[in-house]
Amino acid sequence: MGIKNKDFLFNLLSTPSPSSQEVEIQKSWINYVKEFADEIRTDHAGNAIGILNPEASFKVLLAGHCDEIGLVVNRIDDNGFLHFEKIGGINPKAAVGMKVTVLGYNKTVLGVIGVNAQHHGGLKDDFDLEDLFIDCGYRTKSEAEKFIQIGDLAVYKREPEVLQDRYISGRGLDNRTGAFIVAEVLKRLKSEGCEIGVYAASTVNEETNMGGAYFAAAGIKPTMAIACDVTFATDYPGVDKNKHGDVKLEGGPVLAKGAPINYKINHHLEKAAKELDMALQYELTPRMTGTDADRMRLTGQGVPIALVSLPLRYMHSPVETVSISDMEEEIDLLVKMITNLTGNESLNPLEDA
């Protein structure tokens, strides 16, 4: 199975974009989307927004965040080793022995996350990030400080790869795949046409504070908003499906059900899936979704929201893995759902229309 617009997707996946440092990936996203969007907007949070039909009163906001988890330097010791804290949900066990790209203030530097040899006792069972360090090959603190300072960020050095022509594996698929998907939906809608306003947003800061989603929705004041994110696949060894649900790669897009979700939006998505003869999967979000949807929902007078997710294995690791067919189906689903909308729909649960 081929990947449509692979170059764009892999460019996003290869661009370091730790939360709070998304400028370069947003430039790439804008450069791609400007070729078919009616209008491009940015805001003070750093969001990039491609728009179709900006004059329309009924507005759908699609949000896929472009930031990834990372590390932030909090100390440089006398021997030039970098100590760090996490940006987002870093798993310390997944970090052991990894190569990293340090985005230094004066130079981008290669480093490795050192680990105590097993011959010398190895890592303690309950180790945390504070027990790890980055070795860039510097001999002294002053040598390191020529290129790196406190507050500089780092990401795993890991390029995306295709597995068996069906899956993509790499770092930061959470959720640069979402930024890719909303751009591709906008591109398809430009060629196929739609009657409503569509705002495809590559949002920032989701992994840390979701402030980008708040800025985007507060500025756009959408009629409805859909977060396009990833969710936990449970189709690999060692996962308790009774506890975490049954979500698999190549099983189709995942719709959230729960108190935050506007069920009328889900009905529109389910109608589109039925017309496409597409299988859907479901996850429960009883209280909150843990995604951009939560912040978009609470802007202005309140925004009806839904969450459409891509199944993803090995969340917040350097080898996150998704299905190409699931990505393509999510794009198809959102395009069909939006082209079905006339702009006269009511999302009020107490109204029939």
Among all residues, which ones are annotated catalytic?
Answer: 206
Q: What CA–CA distance (Å, rounded) separates 329 from 224?
A: 21
Q: Are 305 and 260 in contact (CB under 8 A)?
A: yes
